[in-house]
Amino acid sequence: MSKLVALVCVISWSGFWAFGYLALSADRAETGQMMIATLLAALGFFTGMVAWLRLARDPRLPLRA
């Protein structure tokens, strides 16, 4: 299960960075594209954070020194 959560974490953060860049680089005249990219970046951020927190709290993972 932790491998699935780790995969979701990686994909979510990748989506956050990709759509965040698209939202920041969109032309001001294209507000529809900017809003959709912003919403997708926010979705990637929130799912990435939830997945990361689940991984950080997993007791089966070895402790890091």
Domain spans of the chain? 2-56
pTM for the whole thing?
0.83
The answer to whether 44 and 16 are in contact (CB under 8 A) is yes
What digits encode the pLDDT tens for the residues 18-34? 999 999 999 888 899 99
* DSSP output for 25-59: HS-TT-HHHHHHHHHHHHHHHHHHHHHHHHHHT-T
What digits encode the pLDDT tens for the residues 6-65? 999 999 999 999 999 999 999 888 899 999 999 999 999 999 999 999 988 877 777 665
Q: Which residue has the tokens 């990637």?
A: 44
Q: By C-alpha distance, which of 42, 44, 56 is closest to 6? A: 56
